Amino acid sequence: MAINSKREVNPTTLVFIDNSGSMSAASNTKILTEDFLKKWTNLRSTDDLSIFLFGDSTRELTETSRINFSDKTSNFTKIIDKVRESEENITSVLLVSDGIITDGVNPINGAEKLGIPFYTIGLGDTTKNKDLILRNIVYDKNILSNSYAPIIVSLEQRGFNGSKVTASLLEDNRLIEQKDILLDDNNSQTFLFNYTAKIPGEKKLTLKLSTVENEKNPNNNSKTFFVTVLENRKNIVLISSSPSSDLTFIKNSLFLDSTLSVKTITEIGAGRFLEGNNIDKVLDSAGIIFLLGFPSRNTSNDIVNKVTSLINKNKIPYFILFNNLTDLNKVKSIENELPFTIVSSNIEAVKLVQPSVPVNQLRNPILQSNSINTEDGWNSLPPIFRTNIEIRPKPESEVVSNVSINNVPLNLPLILTRDVSSKKSIAVLGFDIWRWKLMKPGTDIFDRFILNSQRWLSVKADNKQVKLETSKQVYSSGEEITLLGEVRDKSQNAVENANVKVDITSPTGLRLSINLVSLGNGLYQSNFISRESGDYSFTGEAHDDGLLLGKDGGRFTVSDQELELLNTAADIDFLRLLANRTNGEFFMNEDYDKALP
């Protein structure tokens, strides 16, 4: 006998009200929100409406969780997660907010995938006051000692055309560089600092803009961030199957970094090299290898075996560029270390292609340059030749760029990376990349790609048994601080029930000890709040049955500024776009009645 059970689920609208601090910037926001609630509470009694607060988290509106605009961050991603995890029959989402995102990622793509319309109501400070905002900083978190690293800064200004501001870069609160910026007619501007650190270790960097007379909110004129300075692998060896323009241009790009030692091995025939015969010594000095059309049919087995040993056994990181001289049968000696598996190919058949960078790779460090828009910069590069090689990316690899042909994007990889078991590689399945140097003057995509690749390959993999870190390295005043731990044994297997203790030192020297709680799978976490602003340090140990597994430590900063008050101007454009992309509708606060279901 079969028993069938049915449960009727009524259509439901979920309402999310922004409870973050920036909502308090406009004096009438609380009055309007309470007015909304009076009408929506009546609707909720019919069981077709559920009301939540959001900010640091999402939680249902109750007598104990009332609107007070006290949340320290605005994380819209948590709304998407709440809707996705709900078992209710959700037909629409109603969002009441000022649209300011201070934590998490932009939720628009996630909201689109839900297939549910978002109706948005714009509240908060909608006045366009005169303001100067340090909007964004693009940087590589891992940089090499004695090698300059670009820090790309974006600022936004309203009402200060023609004014001059001073931008300052500080390392551990010490001024290291300043430059004057003339604010032009554009609301947004980008400028560059070239940062060089000599001593390996973690560095706190702060970027500050001077205030301008009559500026409304000087709190948003500075940002603090952390970078890790790593020991530089300075010896680069370029091995090419023949003299070529790619070899010349790549070598010239590497020469831009005066701290690098660049040597070449250029085949000019079977067993003959442009640089002479003393190549073993050059290979033994390699910290990174660039393989350009190598190995070819003319390459001797001796040098193939030597390079294979350096990559397989010595774990030397490498960059490999495939061209029409590459001998794929000889490449198979390092196929286990490639970012892909070779399926089939006709290496001599080529086609003209352009890069097509996936959206999830736009912040990849090897693609960064002085181009304001990474996607437009890369996707508009001159075409290069790609060999007709069919590959299958390995699961642990990343496809950094596909190709487009005649402006039609194709799911055909062009650039791939792999970072696994202390082995790193970059593969480019095309040649004549020197053409990318032919972009308009002032564009440095080609040079940055080569130098960024060298830097990425230089960063050693971290296989520590015990890793301790905070969820981020800069917190605002009063924000909850999350300590995270990962514990593994010598074989990198997760340790479930370790005793993980962390000692925290405050800016004034006060000490706090915290035991992290196991989350399973070798992961540990604990939270605490500190209202003392400044630089903190922490050290910790993990023990298993009394045996010390390892130690780790780090730093973080608690800012004396509240994150929610750095930018209080409502982002109405974001709320409009969210509604439009999900087939919903946007309303200003005075029209909120029209948004009621």
Higher-pLDDT residue of 29 and 328 is 328
pLDDT at 593 (0 to 100): 65
With a pLDDT cut of 90, the percent of the chain lying above it is 41
pLDDT, mean of residues 404-419: 93
pLDDT at 280 (0 to 100): 85
Structure tokens at 580: 């439009």
pLDDT at 1 (0 to 100): 44
> Taking 70 as the threshold, does the pLDDT of residue 265 lie above it?
yes
The model carries a pTM of: 0.55
pLDDT, tens digit, for every residue of 376-386? 899 999 999 99
- Geometric angle at alpha carbon 223, from 565 and 470, rounded to 5°: 90
What number of CA atoms fall less than 13 Å from residue 315's CA on the CB side? 11
> Taking 90 as the threshold, does the pLDDT of residue 568 lie above it?
no
Contact 114, 23 (CB under 8 A): no
> Taking 60 as the threshold, does the pLDDT of residue 252 lie above it?
yes
> Taking 50 as the threshold, does the pLDDT of residue 3 lie above it?
no
pLDDT, mean of residues 414-420: 92
CA distance 111 to 581: 8
pLDDT at 174 (0 to 100): 93
**At the fourth CATH level, which superfamily is domain 466-558?**
Macroglobulin (MG2) domain (2.60.40.1930)
- Closest C-alpha to 557, from 119, 222, 293, 321: 222
CA distance 176 to 173: 9
Higher-pLDDT residue of 494 and 288 is 288
pLDDT at 410 (0 to 100): 92
pLDDT at 105 (0 to 100): 78
Q: Tokens 């190598």 identify what position?
A: 294
Per CATH, which fold does 235-458 belong to?
Rossmann fold (3.40.50)
357 dihedral zone (left: phi>0; alpha: psi -120 to 50; beta): beta
Delimit the CATH 2.60.40.10 region(s) of the chain: 131-230
pLDDT, tens digit, for every residue of 19-55? 888 887 766 677 777 777 766 666 555 557 788 999 8
pLDDT at 79 (0 to 100): 93
pLDDT, tens digit, for every residue of 50-103? 889 998 889 988 766 678 888 888 889 999 999 999 888 899 999 999 898 888
CA 431 from chain center: how many Å?
Answer: 28
> Taking 60 as the threshold, does the pLDDT of residue 533 lie above it?
yes
SS3 303: helix
Quickly state the pLDDT bin for 233 (edges 50, 70, 90): low
Residue 517 burial (CB count, 10 A): 13
Of 142-146, 202-206, 433-437, 528-532, which range is least confident? 142-146
Mean pLDDT of the chain, nearest integer: 86
pLDDT, mean of residues 317-322: 95
> Taking 90 as the threshold, does the pLDDT of residue 565 lie above it?
no
In degrees rounded to 5, what are phi and psi of residue 168? -120, 135
Delimit the CATH 2.60.40.1930 region(s) of the chain: 466-558
SS3 360: helix
What is the 8-class DSSP label of residue 383? P
Delimit the CATH 3.40.50.410 region(s) of the chain: 11-126+569-595
Quickly state the pLDDT bin for 9 (edges 50, 70, 90): low
pLDDT, mean of residues 291-299: 92
Does the domain formed by 11-126+569-595 have CATH 3.40.50.410? Answer: yes
Contact 322, 431 (CB under 8 A): yes
Q: Which residue type, as a one-letter code, is found at position 283?
A: L
Structurally, at CATH architecture level, domain 131-230 sits in Sandwich (2.60)
**Helix crossing, 445-458 with 245-255: angle to 10°?**
70
Structure tokens at 380: 């508009």
pLDDT at 116 (0 to 100): 94
